[in-house]
Structures are given as C-alpha cells and as structure tokens.
Structure 1
Amino acid sequence: MDSSITDQLRNLLMSFSLPYTISDSTNITEINITTVCSLNETQYQCKCEGLFVWPNDTCHSYEACDDITDASCTCINALPVDGQFCQILPSKYVIDIDVRFFDLFLVDYLRNLIKNISLPLTLSNSINITDIDMNTVCGLNGTEYECKCEENHVWPNDTCRAYQVCDGIVGGTCGCIQALPSDGPLCQRDINECEDAVSVCGQYSDCINIIGSHMCSCWSGFNTSNKDSPVSRDNSCHDINECLFSPSVCGSDSNCTNQLGSYNCSCLDGFTATISSLPISINNTCRDVNECLETPEVCGPNSRCTNSIGGYNCSCLSGFTVTNIREPVSASNPCNVTLPLTEYLIEIQINSMDSSITDQLRNLLMSFSLPYTISDSTNITEINITTVCSLNETQYQCKCEGLFVWPNDTCHSYEACDDITDGSCTCINALPVDGQFCQILPSKYVIDIDVRFFDLFLVDYLRNLIRNISLPLTLSNSINITDIDMNTVCGLNGTEYECKCEENHVWPNDTCRAYQVCDGIVGGTCGCIQALPSDGPLCQRDINECEDAVSVCGQYSDCINIIGSHMCSCWSGFNTSNKDSPVNRNNSCHVTLPLTEYLIEIQINSMDSSITDQLRNLLMSFSLPYTISDSTNITEINITTVCSLNETQYQCKCEGLFVWPNDTCHSYEACDDITDGSCTCINALPVDGQFCQILPSKYVIDIDVRLFDLFLVDYLRNLIRNISLPLTLRNSINITDIDMNTVCGLNGTEYECKCEENHVWPNDTCRAYQVCDGIVGGTCGCIQALPSEGPLCQR
C-alpha cells in the first residue's frame, strides 16, 4: 500500500544496463513496469505505465477511469480476473506510395486491385495492414496538369487556397487542383460526420454528409432556439410547442395538447367539430353545440332552455320552481308549479332625539339570527341600519352607517360634512326631500396578477387582449370589473434584467432611489429599474394633473401633463406676480399692462479723453435698476462708441460687447479685423447717426432625451424638421438652428450610437471606440458606445 515501494522498484529496474547477462545462454534484453494498482482515495484503480494500454474490451468490462482513445485506455477500476496486465501499445505507420503510370488503364487496374484486397492483410506475426487508401491521381487533362481526389476524398482547405482549383470549393475544401503540392498532405479521406448524427447535430435532427462538410436539419415539428444559425449540437432541435399559439393552430373554442414533434386538438366542453368526420384544426374549427335544439329534454318539463356559448342555461317558466332550490334546473331537478315568491324591502324610519334609542335598536337588530322565519312563505334575510340623522351641536347632519354612503349628487346638493371620496360621502347637512337614505358602498378590489412568459410575443398578445376588453366587464350581479391595468413588464435586455413600466406608467419615487435606474429620472419618477422590488408597489399609472387645469395652475394658464409631473404656463398677455417661481395655483397668472422700453442715446463731443474716462466711471457707479419714478426705471447703461484722433487718423471704436455691423465695416473702412461679419473699429463716424450695436450671443445647448419607444424618436425627428426657424423666444433670444444629431439604443443585444442623416462621428471618436459601419474619410456613422467626453455626431 506504500507508493514509495513502487518508486524504489521503478528506479532499481531503470538502473539496469541492458542487455543484462545472467548466463551464456540467458540475457535480459528488456525490462518494463506495465501495470500499477493502488487506491485513489476510495477507488481501487489499475493504471498503465509508459507506452502500455488496456485493450478495448477490458476498458469497457472494468470501467475506464480515463478517456478511451483509439479503442484503448490507461486506467481501469479493477485488476482483471484473467490475470492480464496492460499491453504494449501497437505502433501504427502511414506509408505513402507514389506510383507513376502513363496509361490510365493501369490506374483503373490499380484502383480495382486495391478495392478487392481483403483486410486486415497479415505481412508477419507483428505487422498487419489494416487500411489501404488510394487518394490522389495526377495527370494531363488536355493541356492542363491536374491532381484529382479519389471518391470520398478532398484537398485540405489550405491547399485549395494555395493552388488554382479546377472544381468548386465546398466547405472550404476542393476535389481538384492544377498542381502536385511540393509539401503538405495529399487528398484526405472525407470525414463522415454523420456516423454519429446525434453528437454532431443533436437530437431530433437528420444529418446529411457532403464532401468536406455536413448539413443538419430538424425533423418535422422540431426547431432550434436560434433560427438565424444553422442546426448543430450547440444549436440543437427541440420540440415546437405549437400550443403556445393555440388559436392559430387549433382554432377558437378548443384545447391544444402538445406532443413530442406534434400536437393534438380537442374541442372545449359544449363545442364540437364543424365537420365531425375530420380532425379539429384551423380549417375545421369547433362550433358551439346548441343543446337546446339538439337535446330539448336537457332541462326537463315546465322549463325554458337558453343556449349560451359553450353551454346552456335552464330556467323555470313563470309560476314554476325547481324541486331542490339548491340545485340548478335540469332533467333530474325539474320545475314544478309553485306560488310566486315575493321579496319586500321594508324601510323603518325612527324619529328620536335620544341617541341611546339608536344604540338600543342597533344592538337589537344585530342580535337577530338570519334568515329569520316569520312564516312558511316569509323570511327576513337581511337587516341593515343605513342612515342616522341628529344634531351635531348646532348643525343637523345625516350620517351613513357601516358600508353605506351618500351618492355624489346628494353630497353636492345637500353639502357634504366630510370628504367626497370616489364620488361619495358619508355625511350630509340635511335629510334628502325625496326620502332616499344612504346606499350600499360597492366594494373595490385591486388584484395583482403576475404572469410569466419566456416569449415576448405573448406579452404583446396579452397587451392587445387587455386593450380590447370592453369595460365594465360583468362577472355576476354584484361584481363588475371596471378597470384592467397592465403596468409592469420585466425581462432580460441583453444581459441586464430590467423592469419597465408600460405606457403612461412610472415607478414611485422611493423605488427609483432604492434600485439602479435604466432611464432618466423625471419629476422624481422613472420608467425602468434593474430589479423587481421585493416589496412595495409596481409601476403606477401616471396621474394627469391637468384634468382640472384651473385647480392645478390657476386661471389664465395652460397645463401640460408630463410623466411623473406637469408644467404650467401663462397665456399670452398674462404673467405671475413672482416671475422667479413657477406658475401654479398659489402663483397664478394675471393680466399685465404692456411694459414700454426706451432706448436713450446721449452723444458727447469732447476732444479730451479724460472726459470719456470720467463719464465711464460715473455711469459704472450707478446701482441698477435706477428708479426715476413709479413707472420709470433705468435698467441698463452702456457706453457704446468712442470716437477720437489716433495720431493722424480719426477712428470710432466700440466699447464692451458692442460691434460695428458688416455693412458699416466695409463702407467706412475697418481699422481692425472683420470677424464673424463685424468689427470694433472704423475710420469715420457713420453719417446716419448709428453707433456700435450689441454683439448677439450665441449658445449651443445639447439636450439628452431618453425614450423607450422608437416611435417617439421618429415623432421627435419629424417635430424638429417641421419647426419654422428662426423661432423667437423673446425680443433678444432667437433659435436659429435645431439639430438632432445622435440616437443611441439597443440593436439586438448591441448598444449602438448612430448619427442622424448628414452627420458623422469625428475621426478621433471612430478610432477610440468600436465602429458598427464602414469608416469613410476617417469618419464613421455608428459606434458601439456613448462617448464619456468629446462631441456627439457632427453635421
């Protein structure tokens, strides 16, 4: 059990100098350790040394503990009972023989001779020929020297590329080249990959071997996960569950049962095939069985049968009732003649100023065990106190009991004395003159349904199904579905798990802060997070604050709803008292008198430049705005133009941000550079009395807009194209150019930033990031990232 003994023995035997003479007639010519058996943790194993191996049968009989290669292994989990040890690994030789003939008849003779040799062919006790392969024949084809491959042989890929081929290239290989390669292999026997079709193509597929390659195809009723890639072991065939699209394969009113490679259709209860002799399919759909026509006895005598989709309903004729009132009408529970059952609603009004009387009555009525039998034909099934009226100090009020409420019209007509919620209240300041009391409050339930699909097609199908449901949807006399809301869809976006809100829905503010968002946060809300919250609400329907615009923004304003918020703006000719705060109900719009602006130009003629400096200092010392009267303010003071002699030249120079316009620069000869069509110095004072003008400021504003719907990108693109420029925001601000330059998003699983029409990425950006289109003139139109710095696409 001591492995060191084996190592000592190995070293001892390896130290022998061979051949080792024992006597004149006995030499040891070879010493080998063939087999070593030991415990490998808890498993007994016998491993082969050196070039020795276990034969194929032994590997299978005693379970190999390493790979079986060329029908042999080097480790088994037992010592064979026949006492055999590991055997020497037989040597294999491949011998190429070049035979040259001038007569093609001899080539055919050799080919037939080789085909008829019975293999293996024994040359000696230790040498067998196990395979003879004629692979390549070279010769003249007319005037062209060609080397052609024998049947089921091909030239390797590298050889086909290195020499001129004389037939087609299939699977990267060819069958004929116009030369005999100076080195490298001759034609190689084509590998039949289809010998083990399952290991090549996977289950439920057919494999067709072709020279140099193979082709896989799925059986009927099977398909691959990735239909854009060929069938292979890694993209194997699986059963198509046609029943996921049941209406499209079986038709309506049917059940679809998936089977391996197929499916089975059957009609729902109460339906049958249109053509009974044919199986159910999209061309032979299920029709409703009208039991009332085909089996009129289903309801029994004295009854009425009403057909319904997928079933029928039985009811007794007037003056009849069923034997067992707890069971539905049927042939086994027929209708019998009865006296009519009358239902009464009895309202009892008690006038008392003593509230203890009301408490006593409430306790008395609650003690009744219902239904309360008065006679064989009379039961009290329900007792409710609905309305209690009393003086609340000096105010007469009528309050509702339990789940009862005053309806909306009554709340407004008689002035509610508590909040009106969901169009009802529980207290009014009068008893209605029409004698109506509080009414039962309908219960409202919100039911969250978590539906899990792997196919986004089903999500769209569910979305369309919900949109087309006509509401309210009546489930029973007392239950109506008034609203169905699909709010949140979660799934993989590439490799990221995301939960996105449906249109007009947002995540609550707390959720956006708690989880990583995958879009912009607007108004404290977001539309996408990278998790499904463990608790808390899902996406919520965006509140349209603008439904009652006046209560939100105040009078004389417009309200624009945006996801998670809203925006108020005053009408033209109206303004707020506090211009630094947004428009709202507390900072509402009111009509304003037009503001008159005056521009006063003062011209001072003086040859003394110190006067100009004194004037400049004086004007700069003013604190603006400077009030002259209640209606007059000086809001701005500027020295625009200073004219003086510059040695022998009379010049008029502009102060601060003022400039001479282009025409003036050319008419009076500029004395500095003309930049952007303006200058700051001319050699005269214009005869029209105009002075230097303010230099208009130019701003470039980048706006990052994030949308989930590419339809909105197209909508924004068309909106921008149709804006008439220049667009005046106010007297001193004009938008002269709007440019949509870059759109980023997922293209399949790749994130790409593409340039809009007539725009390109700069040269440096194309080199820094991976491009997803061609580089032309050093620029490109698409990269696979949004640059962390630097410009976006340029016109």
Structure 2
Amino acid sequence: MLFLIVFHIIVSLSWTGVCGWNGSPGYKDAPTKKTDVGGSCPPGFQWNIVDQRCEDIDECGDDTHTCDQFQNCINTLDGYECRCKPGFELDSSAESCVDIDECALNQHFCSNGQQCLNLPGSFSCIPDVTTTTTQSPSEDNGSSEYNPEPAFDCDDGYKRHEGHCVDIDECRDGTHACDDYQDCVNTLGGHKCRCKHGFELDSSSGSCVDIDECRDGTHTCDDHTDCVNTLGGHECQCTLGFELDPASESCVDIDECRNGTYVCDDHTDCVNTLGGYECQCMDGFELDSSSGSCVDIDECRDGTHACGYRQDCVNTLGGHECRCKLGFDLDPASGLCVDIDECRNGTYVCDDHTDCVNTLGGYECQCMDGFELDSSSGSCVDIDECRDGTYVCGYRQDCVNTLGGHECRCKLGFELDPASGLCVDIDECRDGTHACDDHTDCVNTYGGHKCRCKHGFELDSSSGSCVDIDECRDGTHACDDHTDCVNTLGGHECRCKLGFELDPASGLCVDIDECETGEAPCAYSSDAGSVCKNTRGSYFCYHIDCPPGYKLDAKQRCVRKRSGCQLRRWQCSQQPDLYCHKFFTFVANASLPFGKVDFYTMPRPSELWIALFTKVNYELRVVSVQASPGVQPADLSCFKKRVLFNGCVVSLRCSLPGPQVVELELTRSIVGSTRLARSTVVRLFVIISQY
C-alpha cells in the first residue's frame, strides 16, 4: 500500500516537461543508458533474474513475516497482512489479537448439565459437578446418578453440534478470505477461493485479475461489432458503418445512400457497401487518379463516340454531340448529313476570273480562259510576264505585272532621277519616309533601310514589328522569389509580393511578420487559446479548443480536470492526461540535404519506475491536411518517428509544396503489466508557406 501511495505521488509530480522540446536529439536532454536495474525494486518486491523484472515477495511463504501465534499471515501485492485466527479478535487498544471468551459471551453450545470451559481460541464443555442429581425413593427409576456427556474438542474447520463435530461452512457464515473477484467453495474442514467468471488467477501476484476477452479471442462479437473489454466480461459494440437492429438485436449495415449521410461529388453516384459506401463516377465520367475526383470523359478524343464520317464529334459534359462537317447539312427526312451545293445557293467565294464547280463537301474555283492556276495560292491568276521572264526592264527596276501586261518601276528604296533617268537610292531615315515606329531605330541601307528594335523590344516574326519584351513571362527579369514582376513598355518593375515589403537599406523585399505588426486577425489576442504563427509571405491563425473534461493552462496545454470525466473509471483511465500543441513553419519545397530534417523531439519519461515496470509506446498519425487547390496534400509517408531511449524524434522526409497545413498527432502511452498507466497527446502543426 505504501508503494502505491508513493507511486501516485510520483505520477502527480512528474508532468513537468512531458510535451517535449523543439529541435534535434543530441543537443540537449539526451537520454542516458541505465545498466544497474537489479537493485531498483520497490519495497515488497525482489528482482527475478530469469524474467528480468520485479516480482512480489511472499513473506508468508518464506516465513519472513512478523505475525504471532494468534494470527494468520495473508500475502498481498508488495506486502502481507496479519489477520486474527478463528477464536481470536483484534484488541484496538493493545493492537494485538486476544482470545474470545465464548463462555462469557454465551457463544458456546454446552447443554444442561455441562459447564463451559474457555480455552485459547476455543472452549470446551465439561461435566458440571455441581448439578449431580440424587433421586428420591419415590422417583427411583433404577439409576442412582446422572451421567453427563464427556467433553471433547473439534479440529480446525469443524464445530460441535449435538455431540458431534460438523464442518463449518465459511462461505455461508462469511468467515472466508475470498475477495470480490472470487467465489467461495466450501470444503470439509475449510474452503477454497475460485476466480469468478470473467477472471483468472495471476500466478505472479496470486490474485484474480480480469480476463481481456477482446485480446485473447474468447469474446462472442461477430465481424460487424467491436469488442470492448469490461470488468469481468465484455461488450459488443457496432463497428463504424453498422447500427443495432432492435428487432433482431444484431448489427446491420447502415445504408448511407438511402438515409442521406453520404458525401459524394456532383458527378458521382452513391453505391452502398457493407459497412460503408462508395462514390462511383456517373456515366460519361471517369476517376482522375491525380485529383481523386470524377472528370468528364472526352469521347471525341478517346474514340468512343458514335459519329459518322460526315460528322464532327463535339464533347459535352457527361457526353458528346455529332454535328455535320463543314460543307454538309442535316437532312431532317433521313437524319443524314448531305452535301451542300455552294455554287447553286451562292455561298461560294471565287475570283472574278474563275468559275464555281460543286464538289462533295465543298466546291472548286476553276480558272477562266486566259488565266492560270497559281499552285502556291490555289487561285486563278493572270499570266505573269515578270515571273516567266518575258518582260524587259533595266537595272534597279522591278517588273510589275498588270492584267494582260506589265510595267517597269524603280525598285523599292529607289526613285527616278529626272536628270539622269536612272533609279537612285532614297534615304528614308533622313526624309522621314521610313516605316520605323517609336519602338525602333532607323538605319539607312542601299535601296532601303532597316528598323532595329530599341532596347527592351524584340522583332515579332509574325507581324514584322518590334514588340515589347515581356521579361516577366520569358524569365529574363531580375525579380526574386519575394517579388512580382510587372512588365512595362520597354522594361519591367519588381514589386514586393503580398506579405512582403521593401527594405530601404538593402533594397530587397523582406517578409512581413503579420503576427508582430498586428495585421493578422489573431495577433495580440487576449484569448489564451489563440495562436498566431508567421510564415513566409503570410501567417497562420489557430485556436486551441480543449476536449470536454479538459482545461487550457498558461502553456497552451489541455490538462484533464480532476472531476472532468463523466465516464466509467476504466474509460476515464484510457483518456490522455493532457494535450500539447506545437507549431512548426517550413518554406515551400524546402531543401533536405540529408533526406530528412528532425523538427520535434518528445523526451523520454524521467521517472525511474517507468523504465523498470512499464513500456513506453509512441504512435504517429495524420489528423488532417489543409492544402490549397492544386497543391498535392502530404500524407504520413512524408513523416517518420523513431524511438531513442524511450524518447521519440519526428522527422520531415519530403520537400512539400505550399501552402498547406498538416496536423499530426503523436501519442505517448505508458503501459503497465496489465493495463494503460497513462498517455500524453502532442498535436504537431506543420505549416508549409506558399513561397
């Protein structure tokens, strides 16, 4: 009992620092290795070299107890008890067992003619010599003296009754030593204590302990129920996706599709399954493995449409349409696409020197007499004497074809000199006849000029003009990750992105700490549960809401109230003692030189009794992921836990895109020999910034 009191005192005083510290192991609070564990057992226990654990000392069995001859030694966990033997009772003033005087208390069964003689722990009935009867002559029946019953003693576990020794039923009269988890079975001269149904004997402690039917597989729960162990038995609760049917008293499947509790996208149908449901894509949609959502099937692209050879397939949401190709029209009578005669209905476009000839799905323009087809343009053109070499023109002159003939004109960039009759160069840059605009510089050349693009401009090959160079788009700007490039005519500007501001000293854009400046709505909040964390280019606001039965302390921890649990005592013991909250910020796509970065360490429990008598387990899981549209959400594979000397280190293993917030839950459970001793939950918020 003293050990249990000390144990509870140690637990109540050992919660300082259970939430751990931020950083890598090896920098501080590095665990030390304990080698001498054989001499650390508490009082009432001794070290078992074979099993390598502390086991109870049986003081009654090895005769190391201090009970006297009037007491029975009863072994207990971590000690023993001295109980008065039958026929003795505890004298509270002397704190010792004294004899019960059955004769004085009239608790004997001596008959008339017998005298009660008190003995240590018992009594005896002897003949009463003072009641010898002498009969008168008138009453003489042949006997001259009364013969009393001889005195005798019964063995332990028996009592005298009507001159005989009969068995004492300790189970019925309540003198047995069985506890609440045992059934008393009477035997001749004694009794036995057997474990009640739902309990079994613990060989190490000698007491009856609860049987966990859920763990050893002796429960009666079926595939649709979860086994929950109770003291002396177990309960079968319906698993997720099932509910109790009062008529059959069995767990039946919940039809989420029928009762409307399903959550499916607009392009999916709910299909009920055993214990849940599935969201299956509607007809005309298919599952996109990258986004996990149903997207439209493009029947026109994958060739699953039913359009004919005179039709064009046009994709629609969830289906497609078949429309007549250009040059065809739908015939309402036959439902087929038929040819349009453009020559007859006047919808053709032909030159003046061509005739329209209808074809299937279109028409042709054929040259009239005196014209020929231009193979490059496909149109009917006049015979070009300049092209076929039948013209006669001088040097620096161009042949200009005319309808039915040609002319000789000074080449472009030259003009006729009336004095000499020759074509001379024109300086377009000097006389202002050049075609250069404000974005170009004019450079005269022989027979023409060139327009060279000014700085910040480039030649557009399609239009032949100088257009502004968009340095922001082609990546030739000088803006960094913290600035937005804004294109200007002939140049660009670098403006700080939202969440950044210009540092006049360095000329660089630096991050704005919205939590420090008060721009964040959660900054400077008087609410103890309000958390503000600055990120690169933004901020993160969070409010800590403690679960029912917990209260928030000054260190932003949710601590369980002493009277906060309204459940059963066993269920209350399964709840964590406290919830801690830790926040970590990382830049998007951060470099991991060694493939990982350790960002949180939960130290080992500092109490010696935990290392000796318990086992420390750690469990890491993802609670939620909030990722912006288009950002790949992180999963548990990007995080790793490793246990070092009963402590736990959590590492980031992926270079994550942002922005997104990953909420992890690290649970430390301290498990004793038969049940959970206590647990602590740490909520880890990994905040990935946008930049």
What range describes the TM-score normalised by the shorter chain of this pair? under 0.3
The structure whose residues are more often strand, as a share, is 2
Return the TM-score normalized by structure 1.
Answer: 0.19
Return the TM-score normalized by structure 2.
Answer: 0.22
The structure whose residues are more often helix, as a share, is 1
